[in-house]
Amino acid sequence: MATVYEAEDLRHHRTVAIKVLRPELGAVIGPERFLKEIEVTANLHHPHILGLIDSGAIEGQLFYVMPFMEGESLRARLDRERQLPVGDAVRIAAEVAAALDYAHRQGVVHRDIKPENILLHDNHAMVADFGIALAVSEAAGQRLTSTGLSLGTPHYMSPEQAAGDGVVDGRTDTYSLGCAVYEMLTGEPPFIGRTAHSVLTAVMTTEPAPVRNTRPTVPEYLDAAVATALEKLPADRFQSAGEFAEALVGPTARTSQRIASSLRTTSTRAGGLRLAAMGVSALVAGVLIGGLIGGSGDTEPDDAVRHFDLLLPGETPVALTGPGPLGFWQPAVALDPDGDQLVYVAPSGATTALAIRPLDRDTASVLPGTEGAYHPFFSPDGDWIGFFVGNELRKIPVAGGSPVTLTTVDRPSGAAWPEPDEIMLFQQDGFEMRRIPAAGGEGESFVLPAQFASPDVLPGGKAVLGHMGSGQFGVLTLADTILRAVTRRGVIPLDSVRLGDLLIGASPKFVTSGHVVFGGEDGQLMALPFDGEALETRGGPVPMVSGLRIEEGFGFAQYDIGPDGTLVYIPGRSQLFGHIAFVGRDGCSIRSRCHAASIPS
């Protein structure tokens, strides 16, 4: 939420830590409300809570000041040692739990307990940033709740936080502390994944492995205490941090009962899991055979996918690092509306350029004047390509010519070209959408109720698909800028989303067959039956292709899909950008589009 600076307090001649909130948070919150809400934090006094020295706003920048602590964070110690002695882990956790119990009794929930916010000073734990997340949430009110953004860190986020629930209580801190204790004992958080999406999915759907599976020397009572803290439902966890603290230092009636219950049900549970696994395997196999692989069955999927090189002559694969020109944090490929040719971001010396390639040929040509380009997209008639360079939006004729600068946008999170004369822009800062003329200009601006990225306009132009920073994907209804999450029950308001309803996905796109295609966890491309007119789901998602590249950060999925089902995607998890794959809908045609995956019928 903030950038931290080490500074000198000139009046008292001491070192302090100044934390400056991110600009997009400051824009949503406003200084008066934040400074009022942070007064609650200033009145927390506990030996294991790092106090607040000052707070304020300068030129719209919100900041707060805390003591500078000698020592290190729990994160630094875990990075060095990975696993802590059981006694040290219990002592640190018990002190943090005591701080949480005190604050909860004052009505303050931390909301972001993690090793980075636990400082180790003079052999004792100190909790930093206490109440800051609460102050941000309360100051922003519905404006932050409705964004779908969850204050917290994915690996330590409770299921109710991950689901975007606006109201959480102290039991969410108990869950987060349970994650930190799990990591202190095993060396890893209970749920890990390549992207935030996969972590959040695991948080909400997967049971953590027992601590003793990794470290048998951990006492049974301690394993049971951690497992109780990590229950999915708040009602099944410890009902106070004080109760968790007690269970950390020795057996309690609740942990002893859990151990006994686990012993009694082990064999029954194992049988049930085996049956469930058999059922899931049969379902997936049936879907793959019936609708995803297609063709006559003479060709194996791996052989049917046509791969070709995206590198230009004389270039070599480059490392993908970040949102700069050589880091394809943004989408890097786009198909034209007819599915005949591909434009992609190609390495070019020390920067990038746009290359265009017909899918029935083996050569590509660079579009002059596109140095530093990222996030290409086509006009609806296929005659122009829009793209970004730095903070500028530009367009260039497909047939060749000079690029035209249309406008500037801070930290773009996507663009779409729904009509010949209109382009839609989305930016992270300020949760803003802009509609600008395709000829250029400022256009209209709208403040959105959420961070929104990778837009795809639905038929009729009344709504836009996209994904949000919290991992859900959703539909933005343009008439009133209402954002709703796409769930297994349909499209419902964000504040109504609950744990069992969430769908997690990156870069959703609508296909005229009546499906939303999106990047799922672990690099799977999924297809969800979807009614674009009624904005309703018509079933559950099924896998199409494995091995899709999904970027870190905002989680853009590197693929595009044409109206006829032609699919192009960047495969693999490698940090090298070198080749691409594409498959067609209707088998091997005269243009060598070999069918390996299609939209399910």
Residue 557: CATH number of its domain: 2.130.10.10
CA 92/CA 323 separation, integer angstroms: 37
Q: Is residue 125 part of a domain?
A: yes
pLDDT in tens, 509-521: 998 878 889 888 6
Across the range 531-535, mean pLDDT stands at: 87
Q: Is residue 590 part of a domain?
A: no
**Where in the sequence numbering do the catalytic residues fall?**
112
CA 497/CA 489 separation, integer angstroms: 10
Contact 97, 57 (CB under 8 A): no
Do residue 246 and residue 266 come from a single domain? no
Contact 114, 156 (CB under 8 A): yes
Q: What is the mean pLDDT of the chain?
A: 76
Do residue 146 and residue 48 come from a single domain? yes
pTM over 0.75: no
Q: Is residue 558 part of a domain?
A: yes
Q: Which two tokens stand for residue 468?
A: 């949000």
Do residue 267 and residue 211 come from a single domain? no
For 426, the enclosing helix (H) or strand (E) is strand 422-427
Do residue 265 and residue 331 come from a single domain? no
Q: Is residue 200 part of a domain?
A: yes
User: Roughly what angle, to the nearest 10 degrees, separates helices 86-105 and 170-186?
Assistant: 170
Q: What residue ranges in 222-362 does DSSP mark as E strands? A: 306-309, 318-319, 333-335, 341-348, 351-358
pLDDT at 590 over 50: no
Q: Is residue 589 part of a domain?
A: no
For 287, the enclosing helix (H) or strand (E) is helix 253-287
Do residue 143 and residue 52 come from a single domain? yes
Do residue 73 and residue 222 come from a single domain? yes
Q: Please, which pLDDT band fits residue 75 given cuts at 50, 70 and 90?
A: very high
Q: Is residue 597 part of a domain?
A: no
pLDDT at 396 over 50: yes
Residues sharing a CB contact under 8 Å with residue 13, sequence separation 6 or more, in sequence order: none
Do residue 231 and residue 194 come from a single domain? yes
Q: Please, which pLDDT band fits residue 376 given cuts at 50, 70 and 90?
A: very high
Single residue among 292, 311, 346 that ends a domain in this structure: 292
Q: Please, which pLDDT band fits residue 479 given cuts at 50, 70 and 90?
A: confident
Do residue 565 and residue 460 come from a single domain? yes
Do residue 120 and residue 266 come from a single domain? no
Among 555, 446, 450, which Cα is nearest to 149's?
450
Domain boundaries, position 529:
301-583
The tally of domains found in the chain comes to 3
CA 601/CA 599 separation, integer angstroms: 6
Do residue 511 and residue 453 come from a single domain? yes
Q: Is the dihedral of CA 84, 87, 88, 93 positive or negative?
A: positive
* Per-residue pLDDT, 58: 87
* Per-residue pLDDT, 314: 52
DSSP 235: G
| Cα-to-chain-centroid distance, residue 580 | 24
pLDDT at 499 over 60: no
pLDDT at 387 over 80: yes
pLDDT in tens, 99-157: 999 999 988 888 889 999 999 988 899 998 876 766 666 655 544 444 444 456 789 99
Do residue 286 and residue 322 come from a single domain? no
* Per-residue pLDDT, 133: 67
Percent of the chain with pLDDT over 70: 75
Do residue 246 and residue 323 come from a single domain? no
pLDDT in tens, 309-318: 555 555 444 4
DSSP 290: I
